[in-house]
Amino acid sequence: MDEVKLWAEHSDSFQLNPPDRVLLRLSAPLGECSTEITHRTQRRTSSFEGWRSASVVWSRCGRFACRTLKMAASYRMLCTLGEIDVGEMDKKFDQDLFKPVHWPWAQVRVRFWRTMPDPEYIQSVHLVCIVDDAAGSIVIVREAAGPFTLPGGTREPAETLEDCARRELVEEAGVTAVGQFHWVGAHVGIGYKDRPYRDHLPHPLKAWAWGVVRVTHTGNPSNPPGAEQIVEVRNEPIENAKKLLAERDYWYPALVDEAVAHLRQQ
């Protein structure tokens, strides 16, 4: 019988503070399924009675997609898009990087996971690019309007993560990877708009992948028509880069630390 794992989180509203966490194992089709709920050290069984507005789909390989599920006790389901290391739930969720966050520009609520989702769910790819200089600088880029950010962007149809990363690095930063791409994790969420950003992109479940790679500068950003137009590229020492990226969003410095630590472990 198929089985998938979902994390349900007790939360009356989507808040930044970490809610209580439970693990649900679905082992039969929705409507017939009972669940085994592990809530810290307490274990009990429950059924789907009391659930409202449920839509869950999964395949025989165990991968799944889900929309929001709610039950009478105000449990909110957040999808992990596949298998996940149970130990990951023991990480310190008070860290800025792991807090749930609302991205109104994408109409999605997301959370960062170290476990990478299946590629089919990844909408965009962004990179922490390490330059081989004395300061160990990273590359940050800026459009005409807005603060600095990390290079990356949306996948094209049938594009692999690595192909997307290589293309975006040339387009936005004028750099080329000189080593292997290492995938650090992804922001994963369920979009609440009624259609995907582009027809070929995942919806409503979607993810933004983050990687780290060593690079070398090979030219200026190519800035193709229709893409974000980059007006400034900088190599900044890590601490300076973190301060500039924090102007874009509070969790960027923690993401840079995560990426640098990940690369050092390779």
Same domain, 72 and 115: no
Predicted TM-score (pTM) of this structure: 0.69
Within this chain, do residues 167 and 215 fall inside the same structural domain, yes or no?
yes
Q: Is 71 found in the same domain as 117?
A: no
Helix (H) or strand (E) holding 243: helix 238-246
- Check whether residue 238 and residue 132 sit in a common domain: yes
Q: What percent of the chain has pLDDT over 70?
A: 65
Output the pLDDT for position 242: 97
Both 253 and 151 in a single domain?
A: yes
Residue range 240-258, pLDDT digits in tens? 999 999 999 999 999 999 9
Same domain, 201 and 112: yes
> What is the pLDDT confidence band of residue 77, given thresholds at 50, 70 and 90?
very low
Q: In this predicted structure, what is the pLDDT of residue 144? A: 87
Residue holding tokens 């940050």?
A: 140
**Mean of pLDDT over the chain:** 71
Asked if residue 103 is part of any domain, the answer here is: no
Q: Give residue 72's pLDDT band: very low, low, confident or very high (50, 70, 90).
A: very low
Asked, for residue 41, whether it belongs to a domain, the answer is yes
Same domain, 147 and 257: yes
Q: What tens digit of pLDDT does each residue of 144-192 get?
A: 888 999 999 999 999 999 999 999 999 999 999 998 999 999 998 888 8
Amino acid at 82: G
**Two tokens at 212?**
């780290």
Are 27 and 119 found together in one domain? Answer: no
pLDDT band at 100 (very low <50, low <70, confident <90, very high): confident
232 pLDDT band (50/70/90 cuts)? Answer: very high
State whether 155 and 228 are in the same domain. Answer: yes
Using CB atoms within 10 A of its CB, is residue 165 exposed (0-12), middle (13-18) or buried (19+)? buried
Residues 63 and 158 in one domain: no
Tell me whether residue 148 is in a domain: yes
Distance CA 47, CA 8 (A): 14
Let me know the angle formed at the C-alpha of 171 by 198 and 158, rounded to the nearest 5 degrees: 40
pLDDT digits (tens, 9 = 90+) for 12-64: 322 222 333 333 333 333 333 333 332 222 222 333 333 332 333 322 223 33
b/e map 66-93, b = 16+ CB within 10 Å: bbbbebeeebbbbbbbbebeeeeeeeeb
Residue 71 falls inside a structural domain:
yes
Percent of the chain with pLDDT over 90: 46
Which of 79, 99, 124 is at the close of a domain?
A: 79
Q: What is the CATH number of the domain that holds 242?
A: 3.90.79.10
Residue 67's pLDDT band (boundaries 50, 70, 90)? very low
Provide mean pLDDT across the span 260-266: 90
Of 73, 111, 115, give the one whose Cα is nearest residue 93.
111
Residue 246: the pLDDT is 96
Q: Which residues contact 168 (CB under 8 A, 6 or more apart)?
A: 125, 126, 127, 151, 152, 153
Same domain? 141 vs 43: no
Q: Which domain covers residue 28, as residue numbers?
A: 4-79
Least confident of 65-74, 97-106, 245-254: 65-74
| 144 inside domain | yes
